[in-house]
Amino acid sequence: MSKNHSYTYSKRRTAPAVVSIALSLGAIATTAPTPSDAATPAASSTPTWADDFNSFDSTKWEKRLFRDKNSLDGADFPEQVSITGDGHLRLRVGKLPEPQIFWSQPITHAGGYVWSRGKHTVGPGRIDVRAKLLPTGSSTGIWTAIWFRDTTLNGEIDLAEMIGTPNKQPKYYPSDGTGIQQTVYANMGVKSDPYHQRNFTLKSPAAEWHVYTLDWSRSQIIMRIDGVETYRTKDPDIMKAFSGSLDIRFSQFIGENWGSRVGATTGNPTDTFIDYVRYWKAPA
């Protein structure tokens, strides 16, 4: 996942792609959703692979000790990842008792980061992630994401990115905490290479559960939220960056100059929740 923010939709500089989704009132978008032609199994069938997070399964996931180069105020620690009593994966941002030095960088906050690299990968098919993202008020300076990277090539898919509120970019991430971004990169966030990006608003991404879906094959990528299609591409310059195997990542990075540094109430605490991950393998 990479620090890139723009209404630019593709390398061809097409018009900004902005939609509004109010799913509690029924699916509303600027264009009608297009039925998927990715030929993946229906979500009503038994998943090929799933995790409902009734416990933390270390054969599927790793809690990372990590600091992203764009994180100016914090780092990720295994202790910030836990399973709640009602069976949700929780990534928690909290303020450290005292500032400390982490990888030569002073930090004031700790967050959580989980990935499946080296544990489990998913091939072409459908992946559903049910999640609650950042709340308003206590999330200034936090950047959370549900994302994927190709395991052998350079492709990256950011299924849902969100920065906390208040922030310096209300055009992209409104103060009511409804801003969501989706991006697909041919080279891990490098904007000089082909990439597609989409910004839109989503009703209550922190207060309500939403299902974020990636439906992909070797020839196309489709993204949806609660069944509403938000992105689709068959661009060969994008698709050539994907070998057919992705790892899964849930992360919180803390403090950066574009969105915001941390505020007085950041991490008191601030949680992101994942209810489940479900994967249906595409037919051969």
Say which amino acid occupies 213.
T
Q: What is this structure's pTM?
A: 0.87
Q: Which residues contact 86 (CB under 8 A, 6 or more apart)?
A: none
CA distances from 17 to 30, 169, 205, 227, 242 (A): 10, 17, 19, 18, 23
| pLDDT for res 165 | 92
Q: Which helix (H) or strand (E) holds 239?
A: helix 236-239
- The distance between the two most distant Cα atoms of the chain, rounded to a whole number of Å, is 54
How far apart are alpha carbons 146 and 89 in whole angstroms? 13
Per-residue pLDDT of the chain (284 residues; tens, 9 = 90+): 543 322 222 333 233 344 444 433 223 233 333 444 544 666 668 999 999 999 999 999 999 999 999 999 999 999 999 999 999 999 999 999 999 999 999 999 999 999 999 999 999 999 999 999 999 888 999 999 999 999 999 999 999 999 999 999 999 999 999 999 999 999 987 777 899 999 999 999 999 999 999 999 999 999 999 999 999 999 999 999 999 999 999 999 999 999 999 999 999 999 999 999 999 999 98
> Domain map of the chain by residue range?
50-122+131-209+246-275
Using alpha carbons, select from 266, 256, 270 the residue that is nearest to residue 5. 256
Fold type of domain 50-122+131-209+246-275: Jelly Rolls (2.60.120)
How far apart are alpha carbons 100 and 92 in whole angstroms? 18
**What is the number of helices (H) and of strands (E) in the chain?**
1, 18
